[in-house]
Amino acid sequence: MGIDNASNQLSGYNKPMRFMTKTAVIWTLLTSCTLHAQQVQLRDIIDTSITEAQGAAKGKSAALADDYVFARRVFLDLTGRIPTAADLARFVTSEQTGKREILVDRLLNSPEYARHMQYTFDVMFMERLPKKHIAPADFQTYLRQAFAANKPYDQLASEILSADGAVAELRAASRFLLDREIKREETVRAIGRVFLGRDLQCAQCHNHPNVDDYLQQHYYGVAAFLQRSYLFTDPSTKVVSIGDKTEGDVKFTSVFTGEEDVTQPRILSLPEIQDPEQDAEPYEVEPDSKNRGIPKYARRLQLAPAMTSADNVAFRQNITNRIWAMLMGQGFVEPLDMFHEGNAATHPDLLREIADDLMNHGYDVKYLVKEIVLSETYQRVSEFTDSDTADGNRLYLNASIKPLSPEQFAWSLLQAVGLIEKTRASVVAAAVKENAGFDTGSEEGLVLIEEKIHAALQPQVDIIVKVFAASNPASRFDASANHALYLLNGPEVATWLTVGQDLLLDRLLATTEDQQLVEDAFLAIYSRRPEQAEAKLAMEFIQTDGSSREETVRELLRTLLCSAEFRFNK
């Protein structure tokens, strides 16, 4: 794909299209074959279902990505940055059978995977909210450790929805509730959007005016779990946590009809959760000015089991849709927080099958990610040339181009200019010097190296993220004039493109062959070799521009870094 041709598939991204797939039939046929059900891989279910749903367009799919495109895509999706030139060369030249699966397994087990998921889920859960009671870094550490251990997603969700800030081991997890101060408007909306895929905000004062199946009782059913909870500040330590009381019911009135109603805690239209008969002494610790209320039965603590119950289909379909969108560039349901009958999933049977399979595999996120990225559906190129077939990406005839998140862009920029590898070399040398027996290839060694690299480069990453997340903090990267100005004039970028820094520019200037210089630049920044026309233009620029060779090569690098291709995952 040409340098600035990466955005040509973005049009039509939000156009609605509906497919009634036959996944249930496909599943029955596949599992009734000579293979046992447990041997049928989810990746094959995905491909068969997607192909079946393409209808008349079946057979017009784009080609599978070559090793260069696959490597860049999977590195970005699983580690949050582009590959090094060395990583790329090892993968492309490898003749191992099943090398793509081998690479995926390696990346999923890398500390960079846990870091990338930390970033991704932190934005999903907290939307870059500032600190109120819990340090964002503590919550991020909690998330990273959870993904490093491959903690089941239902357990992660349960901890986040149950943590009250009073237990040291899970205090970081309480940021979701504590930093929203369990205020009804903020907290109920966040729970609905993040865990149910439903933005219930407009159902607060009445049934939703535009979505028939968003009811006022759904909003207040979630609110009822938290109605009896309150913020408690310990008078001696000043630490804020969540206390609970035994009284407090939810009543609501529709501003449209004037009708009054009451609800016990409930998830959407599932049955209400009734309080048990109250003990004569209902508290473990009675609430007062010095003590946080701890009742024997707390409604708030019923939220997590109700949310993660097998009866709550919305929970597993929502996280499946979000992970699918993260990897595929579009959800089965778009927007991700607008599941409803009038906005049905494009492939409802497949969404159900994947979500049920995730639940049956113990909410193993690594399992789901691996199966999706090893499907042919994921591995198709983004370019689609069949002019007779509209919306090829919505049919999954081709890959959707994904804007990089601010964090992906930041780490990829540092990778491209050579700063990560320079820092890695310094970190490894220092670690070996400090500990002669240090094993840089061990699991412990890799984690330690990643942590030290992250600590060393986080100030630069924070600067870039602040620039690129400013316009819409919770969204994916959306280019603006400020972004271009930063890449052209930002002091950090200027330093990285100055000679004497032992970075990419110095390495390229040491190359005497112009063709090799151009190829190395493309491999470092685009993770691919240049097309013949691109190489010709780049070499002509180097050879005919009146500036010095240093300035000419610097401008070549700026051009590549500022291009559309670099800021998208294609």
Q: What is the pLDDT of residues 252-291, one digit of tens each?
A: 999 989 999 999 999 999 999 999 999 999 999 999 999 9
> Of 348, 381, 401, which residue is a domain's last?
401
C-alpha to C-alpha distance for 24 and 36, rounded to whole angstroms = 17
Minimum mean pLDDT among 26-35, 224-233, 489-498, 530-539: which range?
A: 26-35
> Of 401, 434, 461, which residue is a domain's last?
401
For residues 91-98, give the mean pLDDT: 97
DSSP type of residue 11? T
Q: Say yes or no to pLDDT of 119 above 80.
A: yes
- Inside any domain, residue 245: yes
- Inside any domain, residue 3: no
C-alpha to C-alpha distance for 54 and 19, rounded to whole angstroms = 8
DSSP three-state, residue 128: coil
pLDDT class of 58 with cuts at 50, 70, 90:
confident
C-alpha to C-alpha distance for 536 and 56, rounded to whole angstroms = 41
Q: Say yes or no to pLDDT of 558 above 60.
A: yes
pLDDT the model gives residue 6 = 37
Say whether both 299 and 326 belong to one domain. Answer: no
Q: Are 477 and 408 spatial neighbours (Cβ–Cβ below 8 Å)?
A: yes
C-alpha to C-alpha distance for 141 and 363, rounded to whole angstroms = 21
For residues 515-525, give the mean pLDDT: 98
Say whether both 259 and 329 belong to one domain. Answer: no
Q: Say yes or no to pLDDT of 29 above 90.
A: no
Residue the block writes with tokens 């800021």? 567
Say whether both 446 and 529 belong to one domain. Answer: yes
Say whether both 342 and 288 belong to one domain. Answer: no
pLDDT class of 35 with cuts at 50, 70, 90:
very low
pLDDT digits (tens, 9 = 90+) for 288-314: 999 999 999 999 999 999 999 999 999
- Inside any domain, residue 298: yes
Q: Say yes or no to pLDDT of 115 above 60.
A: yes
Q: Say yes or no to pLDDT of 36 above 90.
A: no
- Inside any domain, residue 139: no
Which residue type does 322 have? R
Bond prior to 136 in cis (omega within 30° of 0): no
C-alpha to C-alpha distance for 33 and 355, rounded to whole angstroms = 23
C-alpha to C-alpha distance for 284 and 98, rounded to whole angstroms = 57
Percent of the chain with pLDDT over 70: 90
DSSP β-bridge partners for residue 568: 403
Half-sphere exposure of 286 (CA within 13 A, CB side): 4
In three-state form (DSSP H/G/I as H, E/B as E, the rest C), the secondary structure along 291-360 is CCCEECCCHHHHHHHHHHCCCCHHHHHHHHHHHHHHHHCCCCCCCCCECCHHHCCCCHHHHHHHHHHHHH
pLDDT digits (tens, 9 = 90+) for 409-451: 999 999 999 999 999 999 999 988 887 677 888 999 999 999 9
pLDDT digits (tens, 9 = 90+) for 154-186: 999 999 999 999 999 999 999 999 999 999 999
Say whether both 283 and 427 belong to one domain. Answer: no
Instruction: Please give the residue range of the domain that contains residue 275.
Output: 180-308
Which of 216, 190, 191 lies closest to 202, judged by CA? 216
Say whether both 194 and 254 belong to one domain. Answer: yes
Predicted TM-score (pTM) above 0.85: yes
Dig out the tokens for 378 from the structure: 């994921």
Say whether both 427 and 394 belong to one domain. Answer: no
- Inside any domain, residue 215: yes
Q: Are 465 and 474 spatial neighbours (Cβ–Cβ below 8 Å)?
A: no
For residues 329-357, give the mean pLDDT: 97
Q: Say yes or no to pLDDT of 339 above 80.
A: yes
Q: Say yes or no to pLDDT of 16 above 50.
A: no
Contacts of 171 (CB under 8 A, 6+ apart): 134, 138, 163, 165
Backbone angles phi, psi at 272, to 5 degrees: -65, 150
pLDDT the model gives residue 38 = 56
For residues 492-505, give the mean pLDDT: 96
Say whether both 28 and 99 belong to one domain. Answer: yes
pLDDT class of 395 with cuts at 50, 70, 90:
very high
pLDDT the model gives residue 432 = 84
pLDDT the model gives residue 475 = 54
Whole-number Cα distances in Å, 405 to 296, 398, 495: 44, 21, 23
Say whether both 218 and 344 belong to one domain. Answer: no
pLDDT digits (tens, 9 = 90+) for 449-496: 999 999 999 999 999 999 988 755 555 556 677 778 888 888 999 999
Q: How many CB atoms lie within 10 A of CB 369?
A: 22
Q: How many CB atoms lie within 10 A of CB 490?
A: 15
pLDDT class of 27 with cuts at 50, 70, 90:
very low
pLDDT the model gives residue 3 = 39
Question: Comparing 484 with 399, which gets the higher pLDDT?
Answer: 399
Which residue type does 143 have? L
Dig out the tokens for 441 from the structure: 């290839």
User: What's the burial of 166, exposed, middle or buried (CB within 10 Å: 0-12/13-18/19+)?
Assistant: middle
Q: Say yes or no to pLDDT of 12 above 80.
A: no
pLDDT class of 392 with cuts at 50, 70, 90:
low
Per the structure, how many domains does the chain have?
A: 3
Question: Comparing 219 with 10, which gets the higher pLDDT?
Answer: 219
Say whether both 354 and 461 belong to one domain. Answer: no
pLDDT the model gives residue 34 = 35
Say whether both 392 and 437 belong to one domain. Answer: no
Q: Are 503 and 493 spatial neighbours (Cβ–Cβ below 8 Å)?
A: no
DSSP three-state, residue 569: strand
Minimum mean pLDDT among 29-33, 218-222, 339-343, 376-380: which range?
A: 29-33
C-alpha to C-alpha distance for 328 and 321, rounded to whole angstroms = 10
C-alpha to C-alpha distance for 262 and 239, rounded to whole angstroms = 34
Dig out the tokens for 310 from the structure: 């097998």
pLDDT the model gives residue 545 = 65
pLDDT the model gives residue 556 = 96
pLDDT the model gives residue 384 = 78
Per DSSP, the residues of 206-260 read SS-SS-TT--HHHHHHHHHHHTTEEEEE-TTT--EEEEE-S---EEEE-TTT--E
- Inside any domain, residue 135: no
Contacts of 88 (CB under 8 A, 6+ apart): 68, 71, 72, 523, 527
Q: Say yes or no to pLDDT of 396 above 90.
A: yes
Q: Say yes or no to pLDDT of 549 above 60.
A: yes
Q: Are 346 and 18 spatial neighbours (Cβ–Cβ below 8 Å)?
A: yes
pLDDT the model gives residue 484 = 80
Say whether both 526 and 465 belong to one domain. Answer: yes
- Inside any domain, residue 378: yes
> Of 373, 401, 429, which residue is a domain's last?
401
- Inside any domain, residue 431: yes
